[in-house]
Structure 1
């Protein structure tokens, strides 16, 4: 992940699948393509991107992919632009989102917070 040393905003997402929760965190980057997707138990991938410089956020984008044997299929993208609720304490940023994919409609849930560290 390419995160600037001076970045103050911090995005933290709790991503849940099949009774297990993973934390996906990111700071500001100036290269959104360098941000890696996080594997969620071999069924989904989740990617959180926050671009900008120093403490100025240009945008936040959240992506989810369903993993198949042949490819990762995009199933969700959420885009957020300023003004954003940036506070010194961790603040809820997204609602709890439920995504469904695959033949048996597997469920991925995520919810994110934003903090100005």
Structure 2
């Protein structure tokens, strides 16, 4: 990804199911429970959480859920703890992850980049 000019950390995830890709951008939060999940085509939900305060990212957590009539089923959680590299460039945080879930083995893919500029 290209260089950025903002001064706040930002987590950028591309989440793909079938032929739809959703771009999610997450900024620093103090309350991880206040971060909403994103519906992915009525089949999955995805949640990206980056907690900390200005100048310091404490952790990043990524969650994926399979949507079922009986309720959402957690299928994936990835946790990243610091220290996180400070860079004026956006850099890759995760590989391209492929999650298989449900009776039909539906595939959710995601990858995330981190922008963590110097203060």
Equivalent residues in 2 for 1:33-112, closer than 5 Å: 33-112=33-112
After superposing on structure 2, the runs of 4+ consecutive aligned residues of structure 1 that deviate more than 2 Å are: none
**Counterpart secondary structure, 2:33:** helix
| Contact 1:85/1:93, CA 8 A, preserved across alignment | no
Deviation of 1:86 after TM superposition, in Å, equals 3.2
| Residue of structure 1 in register with 2:31 after alignment | 31
TM-score computed with the length of structure 2 as normaliser: 0.89
Paired residues in the alignment total 111
Gaps of 5+ in 2: 1-6
**Counterparts of 1:49 and 1:112 in 2: how far apart (Å)?**
12
Q: CA RMSD in A?
A: 1.1
TM-score computed with the length of structure 1 as normaliser: 0.91
